[in-house]
Every structure is written in C-alpha cells, then in structure tokens.
Amino acid sequence: MKLKLYLLCALAFAAMQEKANAQTAADYGIQVQASVQISPAKVTLNWRKIPGATQYNLLRKTKAAMVWTTLATTADTFYTDASVVADSAFEYKITNTGGSTAAGGYIYAGLNAPAIHNRGTLVLLVDTLFADSCANEISGLMKDLSGDGWAIVHHNVKRTLADTAVKSMIKKDYDAISDVKAVLIAGHIAVPYSGELAPDGHSPDHVGAWAADVYYADMDYVWTDVSVNNTGASRAQTKNIPGDGKWDHSAIPTYLELQVSRIDVSNMPSFAKSEVAMMKSYLAKAHNYKINNLYISRKAVVDDNFGAFSGEAFAANAWRNFPALITRNNIIAGDFISTLNDSAYQWAYGCGGGSYTSCGGVGNTADFLAKKQKGIFTMMFGSYFGDWDNQNNFLRAPLCCDEPALTSCWAGRPNWFFHHMALGENIGYSAFVTQNNATAIYTPYGFGTGGVHVGLMGDLSLRTDYIKPAGSIAITSAPIDGATVNWTASPEAGVIGYYVYRADSMFGKYNKVSSMIVGTSFKDLIGKDGLYYYMVRPVKLQSTPSGTYYNLGLGVTDSATISFPFPVSIAAAAKDAVTMICFPNPATEIVNVYGNLNSAGNTATISILDISGKVIAENEHKIQQNEFTISENLSTFAAGTYFVQLKMDNKTMATQKIIKK
C-alpha cells in the first residue's frame, strides 16, 4: 500500500495562515493530567480548555484493550471517575466537540499501579565493532537491562551480515523463547530499507525506500522485494527496484510483535570522534541516568516552527504528551538549542523545515557538537532527516553528544503516544504502540500512520523515573541452610522496601521469591540445590501527573551455590491443593509464608492467630504469580505458640502452627 504524498513547500504561507487564524499547535492537543485517591478509589482528570469547545467526550479502557468504552460527556474541563479500584491503572481518551480544532488527549492514570517485575526477553544485537572495544560498557548495559526486569539473549553481529540473516537470528530466538518482547540494536548492523513513500512530502527526490527497522519487529509476515520500481530519488539508498534487497512495503504489513530500537552513531564525522568513543559515551550517560545519578529537571521545551500547519500541528505531539508526564506548568515554548544548552530537561520537541542535517528554526547537526544538549527524550520533525541512515544525520545527532541526550524520534508524521511512560513503561513500548496504531486506537493519528519509516533511535529500555539502586549485595550459605541475602540500603529518599529475585543464569529470567521486605536481609529456604543468581531491587511509591505507581530501581546481583533445607518437590503438591510452608519455625522476628497456588492474580490474606484462635494480626497481599513468599513481622509478639492462616478471596486455604521464640 502506498502512502499518500503531502507537499511541504508552502511553509511561509502556512505560518502566515496560522497567525491569521490565531491557532497554535497547543490547540490541537488536550493537555490532561490526573490526581488520584485510594480510599474511596477515584481518578480526577483535569485538562486545558480548547478554544471554542462546547463539550468533551471521555472514554476509558484497560491498557491491553483494543476498544474504548464511553464514560461521559461534559462541558467542564474536569471529570472524576469513581468506578475504579486501587492497585490498578486505566487509560483515558478525551476529545472535544465544537471549537476550531479537533484535538485529542490521553493519560494512563494509576492508583498505586503494580510494579513491573518482569518485562520479557530482549534480544541484544551488538555490532562486532564494539564487542571488544566496548566490552565493559556492553557488559554494563546488559547488567542494567537485567536489573530492570529484562532477560537477555546476546549476539555479536557483523555489520556486513544481510538484514535477512539478522532477522532469521531474531526469529530463531522468538520461536525458541516464549516471551521475547524486544530487539535492541547497538551499532550499524544491517539497516533494512522498504517502500515507495515520502512521508515528508518531497517528490520525486525522496520517494522510495526509507530506513525501516520495523522489519526486525515483524515475526509472522513474509516481506517481498518484487513490485516497487522507482528510481527517481536523488540518493542511491532511496531508489528501490525489484530484487535489490529493499522491500516493497510502504506500510507495516501486519501487527508487529516486538519493540525495536537502535543506538547508531556511525557516519557522523561532524563530531570528530570515533564510533567507539561515541558509543562509550552514550552507554555511560545512559547508565548514569538509569541509576538516578544525573540531575535532570522534570521540564520540557517546545520549539515549534510550523504552528498549526493546516491542521497537522506537528508540535501537538509535545503538547498532547508532556502534561501527563511532567505537568502543564513545566512546559515552556522556547529555543531548542539554547534552552538545552543552559538546562537539563527531561523532554524536548523541535520542528521546522528540514534537510538531512538540519531543522529550520531549531539548528543543525553541528549545533549538537558546539552546544550542550541536555534533553533526555527528544522528538523532532522536519523534511529528510527522518530517513536517518545518512552522514551527519540530524535525527541521530543528539545521541552523539557527550551530554545526556538518550533517545530521538521523528514525531509529526505520524503522531507519537508516550502517556504509558508516566507509570513506568519503557520508551520502546511507546514506539511499539505508535508503530501499531494503524487501527487508529489513538487519534488524531496523523499522516504516515502505520508507515515502515516509524523508528526509535536510542535505548528502548529507558524510562522516565529511576531510583537509586541498593548498595552492595552478599549471599551466604551453609549446607542445607538455603541462602541468606544481605544488602545495603538504597540512598534514595522514599524507598519503602525491597524485592528479592532468583534466576538460574546471570541474564536469565529473575523470578520474585519474596514479598516486599522492609529490612535489608532475606532467607531463601525452598528450591532445588544448585548455582543461583540473586537480585535485590528497591521500590518506591512514585507520584506523577498521572497518579501513583510502584517504581522499581535497578537490581544488584550476586551468585552462590545453594543447598536448600526444603527441596522444591514439597512445593509440587497435588494439582487441586494449595501448599503453605512457614519458615523459620521456630521464628524470632520474621516468619516467611511460602505459598503455591493453582492460579495467580488472587488476593491473599495472612492472619496470625493466638492459641485461642483469636486473630491478632492480618495483612492483605496481591499475588502476582502462583508461587510466592510473604514475610510477616513477629517482633512485637510475645513468645509462645501461634497459628498462621492463609486465605484466598476470604476462603481459608491452609493453617500451620508456629513457635515464636
């Protein structure tokens, strides 16, 4: 399917027309943010009034749902949703009726939304140029990815390998591992080209194949190279003829299965530094950001040199997304280059008439070398540079700076949607949602929706909120005594506890083996003897303009060979039964309650009863997986005999006697 071509040749006229109509790009984005209350549970949305709007339509869905449910229509600029529950999150969509613009706004609002413990498996493809030269930095990247909940499959790949062979490598992993969710490319590994398109409107010199990393994210469609025959483009890379290794598809042919992004600092001689030096710099600043070791102001700058532009309003990508992430009050309209040179902002947007190496009114590639560019997440839009595989490309320039600019995308054709990041999602998920928006779940979707050109530059695992990790970790073990995991506390203010995880390999899947622990020690007594890797992650109840969620810091890890007193076989109870084990028993201060259920997603109540059967303590826990361990504090109890009772949804499942010393 060919994408309709638009022309961008009347920029001055469009700017004059905008002034005449007194419209700005901000009028095309409903700027929504939220406050939440846990008891009684409610979400209150508020948004900026759209000029001339007579009413607003509110819709809601769960994150995974593909359709919206209408909630209400109101003339107000606020709405309270009381049909919510704690420990959850919902997406909201707002559109307007009346007014001179058709706007839209989105928010993913949470009421103590659950922590994301596991993010799936990530296939890490590392250009062989960096395998040895950046070995320490790549190792650090892998530890950071693992510490954020990703299992990792790592391949070193020659940049001369064809894109078909690279995709076969990814597909093999995808077929072999059930939860492969993402592909992160580090380096100039084969760049797929596809289509007969020019979403920037430049015909005929830019009509043809554009760089299309989405090829690596599609696991179930056979791409073809037989039909497109277009040689009118000015660059050889854009020309596309049958059998040349460039694909036919202008639109993504089917729903993508994987997140994908690329850290590519190749062919950027303006920076007068080697690829190796720039890759080292990028990975170092990404690591410092992930451990919350950088001062970043939760602000955004918008440098809009297009305005309303006959309704496309490219900078509405900023005005629509930023309020739910950093609040409306923290967005400024200003000069991109000078603002980011003076201050470290978390978000930045710039648009204007472009070339491969510049953006009108914003700057050029050389400006990123001459001035500090401290914008972590950048969106930019202009002609040509969205087709990013060329020398001194403007879209990739932020990644090459020594200052912490970490991602970049071409946002305007189509529109991008980042609102999930306010509750802990990674930016790769935002790219994934945007790339798969051909069904128009999110509107206005913008010209170019579903195009193969939609891509993300930088590390897809990056999030908005990070907390400082725990300090050193140490594991001690004696024969038939399990593992004792000790760690030093995180220096982060507001940490409410820690989770402990266990894996069979250093970069494998880490399963949670503890409930939230307030202290800095955990005893693991159940398992099959062998070598294990343990991870500890701090947790903080994070407040954002979209509500609250449990935010996990990166994990710290250590390994040891463990001999367990309780073999895993005792947890493999009858199919229809619930297993419960309390340990240690006798206990001094802490008793751990191990449970193995038939199904996850239940509410477990742990009750402590005295010898007469009177309930003297009771705590409710949300169970995220079949096998769990919950720690209960007995330090205030008198020595004696007690009973621990496990209830699932108010039904007693198991009871065990314990001794408090």
Range with lowest mean pLDDT among 565-574, 606-615, 645-654: 565-574
Which tokens sit at 601?
């997603």
Amino acid present at 81? D
Residue 239's pLDDT is 98
Average pLDDT, integer, range 212-224: 98
Rounded to the nearest 5 percent, the helix, strand and coil shares of the chain are 20, 35, 45
Average pLDDT, integer, range 587-605: 76
Does the structure show a pLDDT above 70 at 5? no
* pLDDT confidence tier of residue 649, bands split at 50, 70 and 90: confident
Q: Which residues contact 615 (CB under 8 A, 6 or more apart)?
A: 607, 608, 609
Higher pLDDT, 20 or 142: 142
Which tokens sit at 470?
């725990």
* pLDDT confidence tier of residue 599, bands split at 50, 70 and 90: low
- The pTM score is 0.88
Residue 20's pLDDT is 37
* pLDDT confidence tier of residue 598, bands split at 50, 70 and 90: low
Residue 574's pLDDT is 35
- Are the CB atoms for 292 and 467 separated by under 8 Å? yes
CA–CA separation, 69 and 92 (whole Å) = 9
Q: What percent of the chain has pLDDT over 90?
A: 80
Amino acid present at 396? R
Tokens 């307007």 correspond to 96
- 432-433-439 Cα angle (round to 5): 125
Residue 333's pLDDT is 97
Average pLDDT, integer, range 312-336: 97
Element of type H or E holding 320: helix 316-326
**pLDDT tens, position by position, 325-353:** 999 999 999 999 999 999 899 999 999 99
Does the structure show a pLDDT above 70 at 14? no
How many CA atoms does the CB half-sphere of 22 hold within 13 Å? 5
- Are the CB atoms for 66 and 433 separated by under 8 Å? no
Does the structure show a pLDDT above 90 at 655? no
- 253-254-257 Cα angle (round to 5): 130
Across all residues in the chain, what is the average pLDDT?
A: 92
Does the structure show a pLDDT above 80 at 508? yes
- Are the CB atoms for 341 and 313 separated by under 8 Å? no
User: DSSP secondary-structure letter at 566?
Assistant: B
Residue 601's pLDDT is 56
* pLDDT confidence tier of residue 635, bands split at 50, 70 and 90: confident
* pLDDT confidence tier of residue 630, bands split at 50, 70 and 90: confident
Strands (E), 452-562: 456-458, 473-477, 483-487, 495-503, 511-512, 521-524, 530-544, 547-552, 556-562
Residue 509's CB is within 10 A of a number of other CB atoms, namely: 19
Average pLDDT, integer, range 80-85: 96
**pLDDT tens, position by position, 101-153:** 889 999 999 999 999 999 999 999 999 999 999 999 999 999 999 999 999 99
Element of type H or E holding 365: helix 365-370
**Exposed, middle or buried, 40 (CB in 10 Å: 0-12/13-18/19+)?**
exposed
Element of type H or E holding 144: helix 135-147
Range with lowest mean pLDDT among 126-135, 473-482, 531-540: 473-482
Residue 8's pLDDT is 38
Does the structure show a pLDDT above 60 at 7? no
CA–CA separation, 420 and 109 (whole Å) = 9
DSSP secondary structure, 232-288, as one string? --SSTTT-B-TTSS-B--SB--S---SEEEEE---S-GGG-S-HHHHHHHHHHHHHH
Residue 19's pLDDT is 38
Amino acid present at 1? M
As a whole number of angstroms, the longest Cα–Cα distance in the chain is: 88
**Exposed, middle or buried, 99 (CB in 10 Å: 0-12/13-18/19+)?**
middle
Tokens 């001690």 correspond to 476
Residue 243's pLDDT is 98
The C-alpha R_g of the chain, in whole angstroms, comes to 27
Element of type H or E holding 619: strand 615-622
Q: Which residues contact 269 (CB under 8 A, 6 or more apart)?
A: 391, 392
Range with lowest mean pLDDT among 192-201, 369-378, 389-398, 472-481: 369-378
Does the structure show a pLDDT above 70 at 471? yes
